[in-house]
Amino acid sequence: MMGPGIAVTLALGGVHTTILSRRQESAQRGLEAAHAQLRLLHENGLAPAEKAGWARDNLEARAGYQEALEGVDLVIESAPENMEFKQQLFARLEEFANPAAVLASNTSGLSITAIASHCQRPERVLTTHFWNPPHLMPLVEIVKGGKTSDGIAERVRTLLAVCGKVPVVVRRDTPGQLGNRLQLALLREALHIVQEGIASVEDVDLAVKNGFGLRLPVYGVFEHADIVGLDMVLAILDYIAQDLCNSRQAPPSLRERVQRGDLGAKTGVGFYDWSKKSAADVKARRDGFVLEFLQRAGLPRA
């Protein structure tokens, strides 16, 4: 559930926020999850008691669209990744929301231009892709659709910055947006390395976690290139680019695993044997690392 973490972000920014669902029971579960996330942030020094308290007061849960959307300035949808469903949902949101309201989707990959194609005012529709878990991860990708207003994109960027996030604008609606394009390019090369017998799954992960991945939070790709020197970067890329994977589809090793039903932690086997490895422990270690980084870095929060 991405909705509670998104709601927490807005509430910490001083925005009165409603967690909206088709049923009151699921809306209430979302509210309880949001309260738990607020407690986590407070306990780890990322939300002072007073701020966590009024953020909690800024949160409510409701069912049904029509009354809940009256007077709302911003709607952020976090429904399942189904294009037809989202198109129908946005058409309905537009019907009930006030004409000036911004309609945003948390989609991680679907075209916001296509989602907005059933709307009468597509200029007010955009993507706000929060990274998971949204109450911890600073990044939000604002993706402009083919008709999204520049002014609306900038208004949303300003709001998210006030709420303590690090928003980036993806100027052109493109598959994978920004972060996932980079992440999947890395995964494609990692799969190729394993498939070619260059290194094992375990050693690829170790190389990422203990090498360049360790410095990425504070040392960007282009910063690294400039510091190394673009002449050296050019020479290295010219040398190895011809040997990098340039497949236009997912590598066979991934397709074969899926066809066998080896889907990862949810089936017990993927690249790892999850009978010997705990997905819950891995996620807890991930979230603990992010919390510690946020504490040390002192990134702005609302």
* Contact assessment for residue 287 and residue 136, using Cβ atoms and an 8 Å cutoff: yes
Closest alpha carbon to 290 in 137, 179, 157: 137
Q: DSSP 3-state assignment of 175? A: coil
Which of 77, 111, 129, 135 does the annotation list as catalytic? 129
Pairing label, strands 17-21, 102-105? unpaired
Residues pairing with 156 in the sheet: none
Residue 98 annotated to the active site: no
Which of 108, 117, 149, 253 does the annotation list as catalytic? 108
Angle between helix axes 24-43 and 49-57 (nearest 10 degrees) is 170
List the structure tokens of 174.
């493109």
- Asked, as a colleague might, if the bond just before 133 is cis with ω within 30 of 0, I would say yes
Residue 108 annotated to the active site: yes
Residue type, 239: Y
Residue type, 77: E
Q: DSSP 3-state assignment of 227? A: helix
Closest alpha carbon to 286 in 217, 202, 219: 217
The dihedrals phi and psi of 266, each to the nearest 5 degrees, come to -70, -20
Residue 202 annotated to the active site: no
Angle between helix axes 179-195 and 252-260 (nearest 10 degrees) is 90
Which of 26, 44, 117, 180 does the annotation list as catalytic? 180
Residue 35 annotated to the active site: no
User: Tokens 């946020």 belong to which residue?
Assistant: 294
Rounded-to-10 torsion of CA 45, 46, 49, 51: 160
User: Tokens 């008691």 belong to which residue?
Assistant: 49
Which of 105, 106, 111, 141 does the annotation list as catalytic? 141
User: Tokens 């579960």 belong to which residue?
Assistant: 29
**Catalytic residue annotation:** 108, 129, 141, 180
